[in-house]
Structure 1
Amino acid sequence: MATPHWLFGDQLGPHFVAPGEDGPARNAPVVMVEARSVFRRRRFHRAKAHLVLSAMRHRAAELGDRVRYVRAETYREGLEKAFGAGGLTVCHPTSRAALRLVRSLDGVRVLPARGFLVPLDDFRAWADGQGGQRLRHEDFYRWVRRGYGLLMDGEGPAGGRWNHDHANREPPPRGARTLGAPAPYRPREDDIDDEVRRDLDRWERHDGIRFVGRDGPRLFPASRREALAALRRFIEHRLAGFGPHEDAVLAADPVMSHSLLSSSLNLGLLDPAECVERAEDAWRSGRAPVNSVEGFVRQIAGWREYVWQLYWHFGEDYRRRNALGHHAPLPDWFLELDADAVTARCLATVLAQVRDTGWTHHIPRLMLLGSHALQRGWDPAEVTDWFHRCFVDGYDWVMLPNVVGMSQYADGGRMTTKPYTSGGAYVHRMSDLCASCVYRPDERVGKHACPFTAGYWAFLHRHRARLERNPRMTRAVRGLDRLSDLDALLREQKRRAEGPP
């Protein structure tokens, strides 16, 4: 009998069981373990728990008699129930904790990672070849494009540019409530979803497992069939309009033209190669402009791959980085996703989106939720855990570099060249969230002072000694010297630090 193959809950696509060089045996029996201990350790968003369990059970139903699906308290207990002390193969897990687990088990052979474009060894070779220089995303992205022939015209980039950000950073259309994009794919729930919801209800009532957020109708794919339908819908109807407003925010249109494919990619339901290849085909056939296609390819073949690689490259100590010395705990209103407690319209709107769906796109994550945490000096490890728990596409490998490095600048600039935070002027320019808000983006002090504008200057003041040495921050820091109301601003910030903005 072929050696059984173990599938984690984020290894659900056909490419995780397909035989190949150093892959699982052809038609190997499959074991899947639904471990309740995962949900005891962290207070996950209920919609995320629902999606993961639904996806696992849908995959088990697809595999039929080939799979042994075990529900247990822990992975160890589940594996013992499934196959006793027999040997197993497993594709390289996506977290350090899971990798430690599989390496601690007798008879488990770890196969190379799947679900990513670049093998880990190839990245290490590329990183070693950078001569000790900063591992810049732009350099990595171009290397991937060249190496895999993605969106290339001969030796040069399609459209004559590697980076089309200049065309992809437009503010929202003036006066528009929505972008007017075709609706995204949304799945229909089935009997498996009903079963999952009943189980989650029982866990909360009787097993002491707690969740946060709301679990409405499932919004994201839980099967390969649904994920492919979502990909087709995006490529055919939404990709063309994706690029120009990918950094814009509209209160009544949280999804804009975004693909909503991150959860499907991170569950392993889609392979990144098929996503970028279909996007490139849309450009070559004239169905989508190059700036929109490049923006999408950059997200998947660039940033997603980059984050995955840095998670492993930076090492376990990276999660403890706290270069700015931020130790404030996350307040209850943030932990509970209590959008109704927040006065600032931008934060209230985005926090409500997270509460209700477990998702919001990258700009609210970085420039609202993350920026506010940075300005308030919240502990970066706690912020990372919050993002991991509260987003349907959040996993350790996703959130650790994105939050510690990109969002909270806790690595002191190892990943990015400057902190990503701003005053209210940026929020006002790139969104309609400042309209009808009691706070005003151009006011720093007083009852109408914007929490982002005041918070930005307080952040620069607090870290002036470090930031004024950063060439990308020098001009901003020197702006502190022109503020006649800085003392008043700092007093107000100290007084308001405990409560919601």
Structure 2
Amino acid sequence: MTHNRDMLRRWHFADQLGLHFLDDRKQPVLLIESKAVFRRRVYHRQKAHLILSALRHRAAELGDQAIFLRAETYGQALRKVREPLEVCHPTSRRALKFVRKLDRVTVLPPRGYVTSLTDFADWADGRRGALRMEAFYRFAREQHGVLMTGEDPVGGRWSVDPEHREPPPKNGALGIPAPPRPREDDIDAEVRADLDRWEREGIRFAGRDGPRHFPATAKEAKARLRHFLRHRLAAFGRYEDAMLAGDPWPAHSVLSAAFNLGLLDPMEAVRGAEQAYRTAGAPLAGVEGFVRQIMGWRDYAWHMYWYFEPARRNRSEPATRRSLPAWWNELDADVVDARCLSDVLTGVRDRGWADHLPRLMVLGNYALQRGWRPAELAEWFHTRFVDGHEWAMTGNVIGLSQYADLGRMTTKPYVVGGAYLNRRSDYCGGCRYDPRERLGENACPFTAGYWAFLSTNRPRIPANARLARTIKQLDGLSDLDAVVVQEKRRGNDPP
């Protein structure tokens, strides 16, 4: 195949696989599958499968337009390619440092995000105080003209978040179609056979193998987006924060892995949701919430990763002292009695997945209460989730979930007791623990852990944090000392 001589071959990492990473549909491409990537970390088996499936499917789509190399390392593969290359800004500091050392590789600005690094830096440099997501989200909406009526937000409000807090239905079912599951093909079978062989050679994976639940091609990702906009978006706003034991997806789009592999352009999804509101009558609560997740939270986490110093990943406030226990690392949900934690950990083990609220309020909340090391937890989320990436987990785990930067991303630690989980889910009805109890054999580990956390970290939580009023209640708890002792004895044992 002949190509324009002025068009450099573009090297795509395995998270840069969509058409929006090319300037021209006919531009020559380089794809590299590095085995060393899977030696360095213990990834979830289904995450490894999804990455390799997506990369190999893209190579098959491109045909002779692409050079596809399988090698132990990127360096080994690059020695086989003599021509000059260009690559879009990678998504990790390690990868960026590597490509910048290569003399014949030109590094282009990032793609796959709504707001540019330059525009975010200009916005952040011009502000005083904390860089809150809500302020950035408003800036992005105005800059890109999304859900706007002139200079005002549609509906008169920038956020309709309070409308996203309906409890789950009592019958445990939302009554909407499940996301369409991709059909595996010969490429998936080849990937599965290769992973089996790699395991025999000593490469370790976590979690269970299983059918591929997530898109591995742009075609599959776009089909899932269309299905979500037509069949699930209307329920998304109402039940965005609902957790159901019998439904791993609730009303979510389940597109984060597709976005993070670069299969889907985020602005395509944003404009699709906006069109559903303007022409198809989709409720604003769902549309605005979906838009906020993409061009608000997702872009915000990306930019905060690059805007702040690398040492941020190793921050460890509030008080932290423990490594992750083996049962957590090994996704051993069967040893856990607490129904919510067992169910969510089972979802990670069996699918490499949990929705955002179980991640934050069950997994992250439990880890925060136990004082686990945030950097280890961020690595766990990175490797155990199919959509996990270092840039995403640095902000969402280090900053948001674990409050390790003491307020850079959020105004309070995301720590809650059993009463909150009972309101947001159907877990507590079938659990051996009582969300109202904090002491004794029936005490909910989340309720007990909540009060023990506040007591232990009282001196470290800033006075202006949103938990300040709750902390004052500690003085009225006659059994607080006993609760703290109880939770210290529990330690890292499964609840």
TM-score tier by shorter-chain length is over 0.9
CA distances 1:352-404 after superposition (whole Å, capped 9, x unpaired)? 01111111100000000000000000010100000000111100111111000
Q: How far 1:345 moved relative to its partner?
A: 0.5
Give the corresponding residue for 1:180.
175
Q: How far 1:468 moved relative to its partner?
A: 6.0
Give the corresponding residue for 1:194.
189
Give the corresponding residue for 1:89.
86
Q: How far 1:136 moved relative to its partner?
A: 1.0
- Matched-pair contact (CA < 8 Å) for 1:240–1:287: no
* In 1, Cα distance between equivalents of 2:415 and 2:178: 31
Give the corresponding residue for 2:415.
421
- Matched-pair contact (CA < 8 Å) for 1:388–1:399: yes
* In 1, Cα distance between equivalents of 2:42 and 2:460: 35
Amino acid at match of 1:16: F
> 2:309 aligned with 1:315, yes or no?
yes
Q: How far 1:31 moved relative to its partner?
A: 1.0
Runs of 4+ in structure 1 off by over 3 angstroms are none
Give the corresponding residue for 1:138.
134
Amino acid at match of 2:93: R
> 2:245 aligned with 1:259, yes or no?
no
* In 2, Cα distance between equivalents of 1:498 and 1:374: 12
Give the corresponding residue for 2:441.
447
The answer for unaligned runs of 5 or more in structure 1 is 20-25
Give the corresponding residue for 1:127.
124
* In 2, Cα distance between equivalents of 1:243 and 1:314: 32
Aligned partner of 2:296 among 279, 291, 302: 302
* In 2, Cα distance between equivalents of 1:364 and 1:42: 24
Give the corresponding residue for 1:22.
none
* In 1, Cα distance between equivalents of 2:493 and 2:385: 24
Aligned partner of 1:153 among 135, 142, 149: 149
Amino acid at match of 1:121: T
Q: Which moved more, 1:44-53 or 1:177-186?
A: 177-186
CA distances 1:101-148 after superposition (whole Å, capped 9, x unpaired)? 101112110011111111101111111111x32111111101111111
Aligned partner of 1:477 among 471, 492, 495: 471
Aligned partner of 2:230 among 213, 233, 236: 236
> 2:8 aligned with 1:3, yes or no?
yes
- Matched-pair contact (CA < 8 Å) for 2:364–2:401: yes
Q: How far 1:488 moved relative to its partner?
A: 1.4
Give the corresponding residue for 1:378.
372
Q: Which moved more, 1:275-284 or 1:324-333?
A: 324-333
Secondary structure of residue in 2 paired with 1:369? helix
* In 2, Cα distance between equivalents of 1:123 and 1:498: 40
- Matched-pair contact (CA < 8 Å) for 2:411–2:465: no
Aligned partner of 1:167 among 151, 163, 166: 163
The answer for unaligned runs of 5 or more in structure 2 is none
Give the corresponding residue for 1:31.
30
Give the corresponding residue for 2:75.
76
Under a length normalisation based on structure 1, what TM-score does the superposition of the two structures give? Answer: 0.96
Under a length normalisation based on structure 2, what TM-score does the superposition of the two structures give? Answer: 0.97
CA distances 1:45-69 after superposition (whole Å, capped 9, x unpaired)? 0000000000000000011001111
* RMSD after superposition: 1.1
> 2:398 aligned with 1:399, yes or no?
no
Q: How far 1:414 moved relative to its partner?
A: 1.1
* In 1, Cα distance between equivalents of 2:246 and 2:108: 45
- Matched-pair contact (CA < 8 Å) for 2:49–2:192: yes
* In 1, Cα distance between equivalents of 2:109 and 2:462: 44
Give the corresponding residue for 2:60.
61
Q: How far 1:471 moved relative to its partner?
A: 4.1
Q: How far 1:323 moved relative to its partner?
A: 2.3
Give the corresponding residue for 1:408.
402
Give the corresponding residue for 2:97.
100
Q: 1:152 to 1:347 in 2, by over 3 A?
A: same
CA distances 1:400-427 after superposition (whole Å, capped 9, x unpaired)? 1100000001111111111001010000
Percent identity of the aligned residues? 59
How many residue pairs align between the two structures? 490
Secondary structure of residue in 2 paired with 1:243? helix
